[in-house]
Structure 1
Amino acid sequence: MSCNCDYVVPNKESLAPHYDNCRLMWDELHPGIPCPKNADGTIMLPNKHLAGLDVDILYHLGLDTKTYDLPAMFGDVKFVCMGGTKVRMREFAEYMREVLDLPNKGQKLVNLTKHSQRYAMYKVGPVLSVSHGIGIPSMTTVLQEVIKLMSYAKAKDPIFFRIGTSGGLSIPAGSVVVSSFGLNGNLEQTYDIPILGKTRKLPALPDQRVYQEVHSLGSADDGFGTYIGGTMGADDFYRGQGRLDGPFCDYTEADKMAFLRSLTGMGVRNIEMEAPAFSAYTREAGIRACIVCITFLDRLQGDQVTPSKATLTEWQRRPMLVVGRYIAQYFKK
């Protein structure tokens, strides 16, 4: 079996030699699991029950396989970019329209999920920009439907990004973190999901070569630091992240600081609420994926997000710049 990597950044010693979903590497990284990617790069959904459906209703996207011509609508998508808020993902779509010099600049974008009202999804050329809400349950709901959407649309080898906000660890506020692994609240690099009464542990590992490529495109002229490191995905914003400012707190400040320092010692550079599940589900689907987050504060210095709204707005554009540069690089090669 030969390598089928369509490299975004040319090979060099600092980069892994293959993407994790390379057919040459799949059996080594996923022993005993068939590759969920067809020879032409389209996604092969492993759920055999789907074949028995006359129509698959993607309820939260307001789409289905009968009413809509999904290959015509989405077959050219190469990048799926997801983030928490509807506003952020509309702004990202508008930004990518400028970066890729696409037509109809300034024209109002259409929310393609308008019939469901739960999320927002915008398409600009080969980029799909989707909001996922806050936390793992909200994110995985739309992520799984978007994975099915890409399969039904016959999109070839799409690359997924999560563009998010987070709290940093021992790095300056306003820094960007490119995740090298997801860590759950029990400090394991897995996404733990109860299925039929039993907990399944799925490896929470983004594509190594992709996060290395993204980091390699950083520039000293950016005006901010870009770091590679682990990302803890908590199931709760307050106690789950060791905060002292929630309505409940049953530990001391010393306990909190010891916990945060232990995370730093493990190579964790930021904390958010989606990384383990996003990494695990894209990996299971054989999809290249990467998480790029801005840090609003250094959690070792406090818990409250204190910068001004103008500063936070400017900072939120930084992951967009990093991801946009990678997408632009793909279309330059």
Structure 2
Amino acid sequence: SMASILPASNRSMRPDRNTYDGKSFVHVKNPYLDTMDEDILYHLDLGTKTHNLPEMFGDVKFVCVGGSPNRMKAFALFMHKELGPVEGGEDIEDICAGTDRYCMFKTGPVLCISHGMGVPSISIMLHELIKLLHHARCCDVTMIRMGTSGGIGIAPGSVVITDTAVDSFFKPQFEQVILDNVVTRSTELDKELAEELFNCSKKIPNFPALIGHTMCTYDFYEGQGRLDGALCSFSRENKLDYLTRAYKAGVRNIEMESTVFAAMCRLCGLKAFPISINAIRPVTWELL
């Protein structure tokens, strides 16, 4: 726990400047940011001097992220319709149109952003998104990752609400290489949010949902035990043994972003949970 890590003298220190009046603001953990004349969010085509970030994003309460630009635009249009008339009222526009790395759409308090595939791609986006939310002085923000995944021992089409993001060794941690050090970060998620979402799912007919662990890998083929990649150095038996052990450890689906998503959001004071739709057949079945 934090109490065992922090010295007792911390209790007498000034309150966290990111939290006051009962509101939880987005943290940044970088002392150099305050010394910078301008912060350019390169891959979002936004900046503190070129854009009024508090005016553009200050009311954001929910950030929904997902891999595919087309899927995120479709979700943003869905939210646009569900929320009814909001500011502007016209068709939604890609706020990051000046870059081809990510797309971003805003509908009222909901921000939708694509993050590409894999840990490096979502990590770059999250660094800049978290800085954006900090510069915009957003508070009480909830982060949701929506994506497809491979299921383990669950029905195709199931929605997995992640209670814990784990690595390839079934551990709730993310290992970040910083310079030539390996830093281990916790991937604890907000359990109350997972339960709340699960309870919501019960009210929707024909919506098979479950709570389970989500495993994050660095690769789609060998890292997820597929037999149809350009390289394969293990047997079908090795694969089934591994997936069986994963299932016994509580893993119900596999994707490629959840651990870094959980770790970064946790460090920066954001409530977060990934939802993954098992849109492909379970990986415990025979693959091509």
TM-score of the pair, normalised by structure 2:
0.91
C-alpha separation in 2, matches of 1:294 and 1:287 = 22
Partner of 1:42: 25
SS of 1:48's equivalent in the other structure is coil
Contact 1:36–1:45, Cα closer than 8 Å, also in 2: no
* Residue 241, structure 1, aligned to residue 221, structure 2: no
* Letter aligned with residue 74 of structure 2: E
The Cα shift of 1:106 comes to 8.7
State how far apart, in whole Å, the 1-side matches of 2:88 and 2:32 are.
42
8 A contact 2:158–2:208 mirrored in 1 = yes
Residue 19 of structure 1 is matched in structure 2 by: none
Structure 2: any 5+ residue segments left out of the alignment? none
Specify the alignment match of 1:217 in structure 2: 200
CA distance in 2: counterparts of 1:103 and 1:145, whole angstroms: 25
Alpha-carbon offset, residue 118 of structure 1: 0.9
Change in 2 beyond 3 A, CA 1:217/1:86? same
Structure 1 position 35, deviation (Å): 5.7
Conserved 8 A contact 1:35-1:286: no
State which drifts further: 51-60 or 108-117: 108-117
Change (3 A) 1:209 1:36: farther
Among residues 259, 281, 285, which one is paired with 1:297 in the alignment?
281
Q: Would you say 1:61 and 2:44 are equivalent positions?
A: yes
Q: For 1:23-34, what aligned pairs fall within 5 Å after superposition?
A: 27=2, 31=6
Q: CA distance change for structure 1 residues 106 and 50 in 2, over 3 Å: closer, same or farther?
A: closer
Give me the whole-angstrom Cα distance separating, in 1, the residues matched to 2:17 and 2:146: 25
Overall identity of the aligned pairs, in % = 37
Change (3 A) 1:30 1:120: farther
Are residues 37 and 105 of structure 1, via their aligned partners in 2, closer, same or farther at CA, if it must alter by over 3 Å?
Answer: closer
1:76–1:36 distance in 2 versus 1, CA, 3 Å: same
d(CA) in 1 for partners of 2:76, 2:6 = 38
Asked whether the equivalents of residues 93 and 123 of structure 1 are also in contact (C-alpha less than 8 Å), the reply is: yes
Contact 2:61–2:138 at 8 Å: present in 1 too? yes
Map of 1:269 onto structure 2: 252
Q: 1:97 touches 1:105 (CA, 8 Å); kept in 2? A: no
- What pairs with 1:52-201 in structure 2 (closer than 5 Å)? 52-103=35-86, 107-201=90-184
Q: Superposition RMSD on alpha carbons, in Å?
A: 2.1
Aligned mates of 2:17, 2:155 — CA distance in 1: 39
- Distance in 2 (CA, whole Å) between partners of 1:97 and 1:30 is 44
SS of alignment partner, residue 19 of structure 2: coil
The answer to which of 58-67 and 177-186 deviates more is 177-186
Which of 189, 206, 217 aligns to 1:206? It is: 189
Cα distance, 1:98 vs structure 2: 1.8
Name stretches of at least 5 consecutive residues in structure 1 with no aligned partner.
Answer: 1-25, 305-333
Q: Deviations over 1:110-162 (max 9, x none)?
A: 11011122100000110000000000000010011101100100111111010
Deviations 1:24-64 (A, max 9, x none): xx955985699684213222322111011000000011000
